[in-house]
Amino acid sequence: TQLLEQSPQFLSIQEGENLTVYCNSSSVFSSLQWYRQEPGEGPVLLVTVVTGGEVKKLKRLTFQFGDARKDSSLHITAAQPGDTGLYLCAGERGAGNMLTFGGGTRLMVKP
């Protein structure tokens, strides 16, 4: 059992649809990060959330950190083919401590 559970594992949608990816844990995190990875490259940071209940927006992407800092969600509005990739959440339990990654959500957006 992973410390961070992501769902769904796979998602295939049409361009223009909305979607939400979830990252859940029974542990409390001091910060939660979301990364996106494209084929042949390493993951790249999208956002870091630190405060319980925090909401951050990055263009069509909305990230939320749960009030108890145990879970997070990523919502994409009007998905585009360029959003295709592997989305990874990662939790940190204290400064200088190791990041723990979820299993990832593989998103495919069809034109």
Partner 1 sequence: GAGVSQSPSNKVTEKGKDVELRCDPISGHTALYWYRQRLGQGLEFLIYFQGNSAPDKSGLPSDRFSAERTGESVSTLTIQRTQQEDSAVYLCASSSGTLGNEQFFGPGTRLTVL
| Interface residue list for partner 1 (CB under 8 A) | 6, 30-31, 33, 35, 40-45, 48, 50, 86, 88, 90, 92, 94-96, 98-104, 106
| CA 20 to the chain's CA centroid | 9
We find the least distance from the C-beta atom of residue 80 to partner 1, in angstroms, to be: 22
We find the least distance from the C-beta atom of residue 78 to partner 1, in angstroms, to be: 26
User: Which strands form 55-58's sheet, in the order they lie side by side?
Assistant: 5-7, 19-24, 71-76, 61-65, 55-58
We find the least distance from the C-beta atom of residue 61 to partner 1, in angstroms, to be: 17
| CA 56 to the chain's CA centroid | 12
